[in-house]
Structure 1
Amino acid sequence: MINPFSLQYIKKYIVRIIFFVIFTILLLIIPYPNVYFQKVARTKGVALYSESNLPPPPPYPINKGLSPVPVISAEGVYIKDINSGAVIYSKNGDEKFSPASTTKIITSLVALDKYNIDEVLTVKSIINDGRTMGLVSGEKLTFETLLYGALVHSANDAAYTIAENYPGGIGEFIKKMNEKTTAIHLNNSHYTNPIGFDDNNQYTTPSDLAKQAIVGLSNKTFSKIVGTKSITVSDISYTYFHSLINVNELLGKVPGVSGVKTGFTQNAGEVLVSEVKKNGRNIIVVVLKSRDRFGDTVKLVDWVFNNFEWLPINEITPAPESPVLFK
């Protein structure tokens, strides 16, 4: 009979434990064959997705170099391919600019996080400065109606009513606006009011403006509203009616333009954020501090679709850098 306390038995037992530990570690560090460890297909030196059910990456925009960037008046420009995340063109893309009424994009994002679409809000303060939809004190409207006012008509009174009804009031709403910039990874934006009035501490960048517009467009309600050319809305009692007309002159006139938001103040100049869907592609075009926002945007859109082709990533040599959606 083996003595379990003998030195020889103890040595054998320790050796078995060591082998068991080594075997267990090897099982943990050696990858089991799966789709992420399969042989990766390569074409022209570009690493691709494996032969699995993983979807291929979206086509990537490549400049054919047929013509130079057009001469435009805008001091800030940012053009981005929404599907691939590729930056097509940037001019002062990370410089600070006054956003004017494009502020209402971030205002809408904060409000969409809080309100139900059919939630009823009450007009508490009358705003007469700038463009308004003519709201009346005490008027009750759904959040959706006010969102149409803010985004389609660029109505300052609509944006202010949305913010004023927020729990905690205007101050809390503005706090949430700046928290939202952090949440969606805006690099250099700050807001002091929900309307877009000029303020030295209210600013954004062309790249940040593109980011927030793309976030907004991912929301079906936002996307539907910014694509509306005109609409007549009313309060919940059908006592007051408001005719809303989109300020964006390109909407419905230039093929492919489907939103997003205009802006203008003396300090900001002309501002325009546009979504363009054309030839199966989807881009966002931002112009800031322009003297001709609509003309500038048309030139840029024509340049993009005449000079760029979208290629499968395996046909591109050398491979483009992986796009960084949020810095």
Structure 2
Amino acid sequence: MPTSRHTLAQLCAAVAAALPVLLAAPAAVAAPQVPPPSTAVGGERLGLPGVQVNPLAGAPALPTDLTGQSWIVSDAASGEVLAAYNPHLRLPPASTLKILFADTVLPKFDRNAVHRVADREIQNIGAGSSLVGIKENLDYRVEDLWRGVFLSSGNDAVHVLSFMNGGIQPTVDEMQARAEALQARDTRVISPDGYDMDGQVSSAYDLSLFARSGLRNPDFRMYCATRDAMFPGAVDKNTGKRGSFGIANTDRLLGKYPGLIGVKNGTTTNAGSTFVGAAERNGRTLLVTVMHPASYQRVYDETAELLDWGFAAAGKVRPVGRLVDEKSADGQEPTGQEPTGQASGTTGAPAPPPHASATATPPAAAKAGDDWLGLVGGWSAVAAGAVVGTAAVVLFRRRTSDRTWNRFHG
């Protein structure tokens, strides 16, 4: 019985002997084409690295001082993406994941319903979490809990609402299912509150999908636009009366940027700063998501700059992609939701960006040696491929037996 090494040697010898005959065979079919890169959700250009923008005459230049690792500017009504930078880059989302939590859970409970908090509902909250200050064995209205989520980014409020919804893990599962229904394929939910957890990621594109969906709910829109409120406190031991205290929205643009609606900010050690902002001007609502800029304050500055640019650029840029629509009830994906960047009704390739920073690096061309089968025609090519493939499989299995792969790609 020959060893695997001898078998490999015999296969290689067979390949060497067969190649002259196979390569001399006349080509019966055209050489295969190198397939294009797989299309990202929302359009091919949104899967390319670097800035993506299609300016027309008179379009304003994008801000030059942006430091976010990923950002996207989109129209909330049409879904058109006006410009983007690495929008599908998977990064820790911090408390902006609460947007998905609210979009998933908020419609389930009457805001006037009252819930008595059990001690177990506010246990096992991550160290250093932001809290609104919920106490056990006290009653809270659902609308108070949601103010705790949106204004104070309270992880305790998220946990209480999650227990009302059946528990932490069932809520996580529902959030993941909701993300999939929205076609948010970059998102992996591990905790409902966005607390740093190994493997929990989202993207600027997905967070914009969540915000767009959430803003269609009037209660969601009301909560994220609330600047301050009174929150129920503890019972005074002397008077027996329950007190209250003020809470304020931690969104630094709310009330400062003209027309800002909300939506949600988030900061953790692992995620840095992330912000999803929506603003309305002259009947147009724009969404901007910025992830992981150079500093905490920059996330607000860069969001404001991109909103300014988006309003000025409206009608002066062709969309480079689209925020896709939610899957239908039967699970079918909507058609026509992944444009390649050209304007509606136009043909041909999208116009190139006007400067180097707006030009995406194209996918690397295939190596010359990878195309040798293109010289071989018909069944001869198939036969050669089968022989070479067998040898390659043996080599691959011997050389990669101890190789590990990352949990996430792209």
Common fold: TM-score over 0.5: yes
CA distance in structure 1 between the aligned counterparts of 2:97 and 2:314, rounded to whole angstroms: 32
Which residue does the alignment assign to 2:6?
none
Which residue does the alignment assign to 1:268?
271
Please tell me whether the aligned partners of residues 82 and 320 of structure 2 are also in contact (alpha carbons under 8 angstroms). no
Which residue does the alignment assign to 2:173?
175
CA distance in structure 1 between the aligned counterparts of 2:162 and 2:259, rounded to whole angstroms: 32
Does 1:156 find its partner at 2:148? no
Local SS of the residue matching 2:264:
strand
Local SS of the residue matching 1:310:
coil
Partner deviation per Cα, 1:64-89 (whole Å, 9 max, x = no partner): 33323432121110110112211011
Partner deviation per Cα, 1:142-190 (whole Å, 9 max, x = no partner): 21110111011111111111112222x1111111111111122212111
Return the offset for 1:193: 0.8
CA distance in structure 2 between the aligned counterparts of 1:133 and 1:120, rounded to whole angstroms: 17
Please tell me whether the aligned partners of residues 142 and 236 of structure 1 are also in contact (alpha carbons under 8 angstroms). no
Give the 5 Å matches for 1:161-310: 161-167=160-166, 169-234=167-232, 239-290=242-293, 291=295, 292-306=298-312, 308-310=313-315
Which residue does the alignment assign to 1:22?
none
CA distance in structure 2 between the aligned counterparts of 1:63 and 1:86, rounded to whole angstroms: 19
Q: Which letter maps to 2:192?
A: P
Task: Rate the CA distance shift 1:120–1:256 in 2: closer, same or farther, 3 A.
Answer: same
Higher strand share: 1
CA distance in structure 1 between the aligned counterparts of 2:309 and 2:179, rounded to whole angstroms: 31
CA distance in structure 1 between the aligned counterparts of 2:273 and 2:320, rounded to whole angstroms: 33
CA distance in structure 1 between the aligned counterparts of 2:283 and 2:103, rounded to whole angstroms: 27
Local SS of the residue matching 1:80:
strand
Please tell me whether the aligned partners of residues 268 and 289 of structure 1 are also in contact (alpha carbons under 8 angstroms). yes
Please tell me whether the aligned partners of residues 82 and 319 of structure 2 are also in contact (alpha carbons under 8 angstroms). no
Local SS of the residue matching 1:67:
coil
CA distance in structure 2 between the aligned counterparts of 1:286 and 1:322, rounded to whole angstroms: 15
Please tell me whether the aligned partners of residues 89 and 204 of structure 2 are also in contact (alpha carbons under 8 angstroms). yes
CA distance in structure 2 between the aligned counterparts of 1:172 and 1:129, rounded to whole angstroms: 24
Please tell me whether the aligned partners of residues 234 and 242 of structure 1 are also in contact (alpha carbons under 8 angstroms). yes
Give the 5 Å matches for 1:1-327: 64-124=58-118, 125-126=122-123, 127=125, 129-167=128-166, 169-234=167-232, 239-290=242-293, 291=295, 292-306=298-312, 308-310=313-315, 323=322, 325-326=324-325
Unaligned segments of structure 2, at least 5 residues: 1-54, 236-240, 326-337, 339-410
Return the offset for 1:294: 0.9
Which residue does the alignment assign to 1:38?
none
Deviates more, 1:247-256 or 1:124-133: 124-133
Unaligned segments of structure 1, at least 5 residues: 1-60
Please tell me whether the aligned partners of residues 146 and 158 of structure 1 are also in contact (alpha carbons under 8 angstroms). yes
TM-score (norm 2): 0.59
TM-score (norm 1): 0.73
- What is the CA RMSD across the aligned residues, in angstroms? 2.5
CA distance in structure 2 between the aligned counterparts of 1:119 and 1:235, rounded to whole angstroms: 18
Task: Rate the CA distance shift 1:133–1:309 in 2: closer, same or farther, 3 A.
Answer: closer
- Percent identity (aligned): 26
Task: Rate the CA distance shift 1:96–1:212 in 2: closer, same or farther, 3 A.
Answer: same
